[in-house]
Amino acid sequence: MADVNTSVGPAEALLKKSGLKRTPVRIGVLQVLTNQQEPMDVGDILKLLPSFTEPVTVYRTLNTFVEKKIIHRVRGEDRSWRYAAGDFSEASEHQHAHFVCDTCGKVECISDAKIPMKLLEKIQPAPGYRIDHPEVLLHGACPKCQ
Ligand SMILES: [Zn+2]
Ligand SMILES: [Zn+2]
């Protein structure tokens, strides 16, 4: 049986993999994020969902996805979270640097800029701290702002 909407496939597969129930909001949010290359804030995500979608449900859904490590998030210059599809859980090769344009505030996933896991060994956090994952934020000007 073929999917009518091909983008439903990956969203539903991700939900299944993480053991989450399929709900219209969860599927909708995942579809939005998997169709988009750049990290999006909640406002951007809401604009692409049906107008009756409750913002509080979307916030809760995003938190669940981050906890389940289906998506990752990064903060921009305005301190608001941006969310992007991508599993940051086990495979270290999925971890990448993010870029913030200091002129227009755009935040991007730099998927080619993998974070070397050796970085943590080199930084050597003090004993007693548990590091879950490193975050590398590159600042500068995006191609449009130069
Ligand atoms: Zn820019
Ligand atoms: Zn990213």
**Cα(84)–Cα(59) distance, rounded to whole angstroms?**
14
Cα of first residue to Cα of last residue in the chain, in angstroms, is 49
In a domain, 95, yes or no: yes
Structure tokens at 56: 């509080």
Instruction: Indicate the pTM of the whole model.
Output: 0.80
Type of residue numbered 36: Q
Which of 68, 99, 101 is CA-nearest to residue 86? 68
CATH of the domain at 105: 1.10.10.10
How far, in Å, CA of 136 to CA of 73, rounded? 12
- Written as tens digits, the pLDDT of the chain (146 aa) is 444 444 457 788 889 888 999 999 999 999 999 888 889 999 999 999 999 999 999 999 999 999 888 899 998 888 899 999 876 555 545 688 999 999 999 999 998 888 887 777 788 778 898 877 778 899 999 999 99
What region, left, alpha or beta, does residue 143 occupy, with left being phi > 0 and alpha being psi -120 to 50 degrees? alpha
Q: Is residue 1 part of a domain?
A: no
Cα–ligand 2 centroid distance for 103 (angstroms): 20
Asked whether residue 98 is assigned to any structural domain, the reply reads yes
Query: What is the Cα–Cα distance from 82 to 107, expressed in whole angstroms?
Result: 8
Kindly list the protein residues that place their beta carbon closer than 5 angstroms to ligand 2, a single-atom ion. Answer: 84, 109
Q: Which ligand is nearest to the CA of 105?
A: 1
State how many domains the chain has.
1
Q: Is 2 part of any domain?
A: no
22 lies in which domain range? Answer: 8-145
Q: Is residue 3 part of a domain?
A: no
Pull the structure tokens for residue 93: 């090769």
